[in-house]
Structure 1
């Protein structure tokens, strides 16, 4: 057999610095910036909420962002094998992060399917959520833009908006509870299939395809966001919405719930703790200035969140103005904002189809690059564990197809009439909250204290030629784990059982299932540590010492020499010698 047929494909690198930056932007700038941050800001004290938000940005987000990107660029490994090289004792952090990304891959595409469903209907001559003349509407349906402005429609307990009925009765056909599974929503499932096909072909060639797709998916949402922002600010009532969005309420700063929600938003928005930044950084050349990149990317992420708030609340202010109700009556978060409040608002504007198309195209693209980057992270992490097997020609595409099919069939229960209850259960317990908090605490303690903050500081200097601010060492050692632990304690003290639409209480078995999902990723960390300590050689102290040491090929000298050799071989055109 020809020697070249036996070769293992090269791991690859970003085609350019821009590809890396856009991939990270696509990953961290997502739906949370648009449908979660503005509402949290309004709900938790307006401009005053920016105080805890910025505290978490400085003490947690930026230090962890830099830490994870540095680890990836230094080790040139995925989310699991990077821990194996730096600190084998806590390799379970890598497994836990990949499990959370797997849960995300089961839930996130469903949001994109809903958005695609709305986008298709946005091309109708009349938006179906702008009237009560449809088959799915009930006798209680009211299109509230036609109501008497002196009457607050939320007090009309026997009526529901046309947008609410479209969402609940046409899109979800929601049942009375999680036990009532009902039938599959075939049209939503068709949209889900389209989403998975798009995601597959965005990722199937690795960074060669992902790096090209992000040129569009990471930039075009900003175009639509600016268009919606300009349109929103020119609407009557927009100023009222902006004032409610940012009006400071300093008294809220004494509420631990506000600080807890700021911390949770930071971890969610910056995609921390799950290995995404590690994998994206691992495709950089060794001498890339990741220090400067991280500072600018963090600034862009938080800036996008704040600007998105103006775009959202200017439109909600217009909606409240048109209905003659307080903005508190129309402000929503999450799916309630994206699929009820905002569609209802655009239905009141001139040329509603145009603004509806802009909004849902933005949602789809924001979510799409977050999803396929998450898929790329999982694929890279698994392939790096078995490089000689998985990097052979055709293996990656086949494994990716298997991954997509597994996630799709796992989602089928979420496109049933009880699907929204299942979706919320996964989103609340498995994908966010305490799971990510725990992993970030483990991560900061492991790299700050076991691997060593001084060693990380030296690595950044060796890779970038820049001395990082000493403040980052203080964060890695003390501030970040302490702040996150405080947030974790608050989350347990202030714990409230999950409900749906503020009235539906899940059965006891559903809460048990939720906590099993949450603990499944958390317990991988101590579980892996105990397993390695129990199966190692030598006495306990020798095992512990060995598991806390970086791999032999992770010294600064060897990494630098290896990087220089790879660059030389690439210059000679001998790519296959640097593979595997």
Structure 2
């Protein structure tokens, strides 16, 4: 009969813990763990969701409820999940073994991660597809001289002079060429083989990243986590030097204090906090479960959350500096050109950089940045699903 761990001498207890951790796997270094968490917490939402949400919810005033949510809820929850994973040494299904009644919660986290992987894989396949068009002699979303364009197509420069219903060249390019959306849900349309190939390439890259579990994920994070910041900084320098950039940044950050009385603003701040930091998804617990048992995770949590907040504001300045330039060139107010989601990333922003000298260069950097931001989250979720199912 094996003696209980508590009855073993300290040296043997330590060796037993080391063997248990070695069998499950550990991060090669603390840097890999931090970079992976940064990649998980920082994604496409920091670029295409937070900036729009901030300006729509009172600009700089939105930062008040957002920071309160981060300080009062985000940091404690983030730190708690990291400590749970680190202490238990198991994923989100295994941590509920102490309370079997809640085991279904862990299973739900696995299902959420599966949905997340499928959804994000499709999203980050769009930048892969867009990179192909960046190598054309002229970026195809800049004009209306293509087979997919309709008679209502117009360039953004002429949009304010058009009467009646019209669509910009960038809008038609994304919806009629990239997505090839059918007229209505009754007509499904055919297979977009180019998009299928882009999705296949995306899945292959994800597979290569998670091929050896945390060993490969940790090594990949050395590139996928910091490199988007290099691209973001290049776009920042270019954006703030454009004419009209100051108007866009002012529009983004100008505080409307009366919006603090709107409960929806506070709800949006809470949603963005959960959406950005990712507590409750299981990814934090799973990644922390490969830590050394005695790792001091307080600093890790504060660092990752701080980087997340900084990146959201930084990306907002980058985006709205270019939108200010677009407004200045087109004569359309910033409030109209500013959109969120895929419309911002694949229509409005490409529309703006198409007006710059050598638009292919700026487009390549932007779409590579989007892809890297997205693949970080997908890789963590994919690794989580693998270990939650196979290891626990």
**For this structure pair, what is the TM-score category when the shorter chain's length is used for normalisation?**
over 0.9
Alignment equivalent of 1:175, drawn from 169, 178, 182: 182
Aligned residue number for residue 82 of structure 1 = 95
How far apart, in 2, do the equivalents of 1:341 and 1:83 lie? 45
Q: CA deviation at 1:49?
A: 0.4
Q: Given the alignment of the two structures, is residue 267 of structure 1 paired with residue 274 of structure 2, yes or no?
A: yes
Q: CA deviation at 1:261?
A: 1.2
Aligned residue number for residue 34 of structure 2 = 21
Q: Superposed, which structure 2 residues align to 1:239-278 within 5 Å?
A: 239-278=246-285
Q: Given the alignment of the two structures, is residue 91 of structure 1 paired with residue 103 of structure 2, yes or no?
A: yes
How far apart, in 2, do the equivalents of 1:290 and 1:378 lie? 23
How far apart, in 1, do the equivalents of 2:279 and 2:160 lie? 41
Q: Given the alignment of the two structures, is residue 191 of structure 1 paired with residue 198 of structure 2, yes or no?
A: yes
Q: CA deviation at 1:190?
A: 0.5
Aligned residue number for residue 11 of structure 1 = 24
Q: CA deviation at 1:179?
A: 3.9
Q: CA deviation at 1:278?
A: 0.2
What are the Cα deviations for residues 547-572 of structure 1, in whole angstroms up to 9, with x where unaligned?
xxxxxxxxxxxxxxxxxxxxxxxxxx
How far apart, in 2, do the equivalents of 1:356 and 1:115 lie? 10
Aligned residue number for residue 297 of structure 1 = 304
Q: Superposed, which structure 2 residues align to 1:33-72 within 5 Å?
A: 33-72=46-85
The 3-state SS of whatever aligns with 1:138 is coil
Aligned residue number for residue 86 of structure 2 = 73
Q: Given the alignment of the two structures, is residue 311 of structure 1 paired with residue 318 of structure 2, yes or no?
A: yes
Q: Given the alignment of the two structures, is residue 215 of structure 1 paired with residue 216 of structure 2, yes or no?
A: no
Aligned residue number for residue 141 of structure 1 = 153
Q: Superposed, which structure 2 residues align to 1:94-493 within 5 Å?
A: 94-145=106-157, 147=158, 152=160, 156-385=163-392
* Structure 2 unaligned spans of 5+: 1-21
Q: 1:93 to 1:156 in 2, by over 3 A?
A: farther
The 3-state SS of whatever aligns with 2:291 is coil
Q: 1:92 to 1:311 in 2, by over 3 A?
A: same
The higher-RCO structure (CA 8 Å, 6+ apart) is: 2
The 3-state SS of whatever aligns with 1:283 is coil
Q: CA deviation at 1:123?
A: 1.2
Q: CA deviation at 1:158?
A: 2.5
What are the Cα deviations for residues 386-436 of structure 1, in whole angstroms up to 9, with x where unaligned?
xxxxxxxxxxxxxxxxxxxxxxxxxxxxxxxxxxxxxxxxxxxxxxxxxxx
Q: CA deviation at 1:156?
A: 3.6
TM-score by length of 2: 0.92
Aligned residue number for residue 45 of structure 2 = 32
Q: CA deviation at 1:223?
A: 0.4
Q: CA deviation at 1:138?
A: 1.3
How far apart, in 2, do the equivalents of 1:310 and 1:299 lie? 17
Structure with the greater alpha carbon radius of gyration: 1
What are the Cα deviations for residues 303-333 of structure 1, in whole angstroms up to 9, with x where unaligned?
1001000000000000000001110110010
How far apart, in 1, do the equivalents of 2:89 and 2:369 lie? 33
What are the Cα deviations for residues 80-137 of structure 1, in whole angstroms up to 9, with x where unaligned?
101224x333222211111111111111111111111111111111000011111111
The 3-state SS of whatever aligns with 1:252 is helix
How far apart, in 2, do the equivalents of 1:177 and 1:200 lie? 35
Tell me if the contact between 1:70 and 1:290 (Cα under 8 Å) persists in the aligned partners. yes
What are the Cα deviations for residues 136-192 of structure 1, in whole angstroms up to 9, with x where unaligned?
1112111123x2xxx736x74322111001011001111233343221211101000
The 3-state SS of whatever aligns with 2:391 is helix
How far apart, in 2, do the equivalents of 1:180 and 1:101 lie? 31
Tell me if the contact between 1:316 and 1:330 (Cα under 8 Å) persists in the aligned partners. yes
Tell me if the contact between 1:94 and 1:274 (Cα under 8 Å) persists in the aligned partners. no
What are the Cα deviations for residues 53-78 of structure 1, in whole angstroms up to 9, with x where unaligned?
01110121111100100000000101
TM-score by length of 1: 0.63
Q: 1:83 to 1:371 in 2, by over 3 A?
A: same
Q: 1:267 to 1:179 in 2, by over 3 A?
A: farther
How far apart, in 2, do the equivalents of 1:71 and 1:176 lie? 49
Count of aligned pairs: 372
Q: CA deviation at 1:370?
A: 1.0
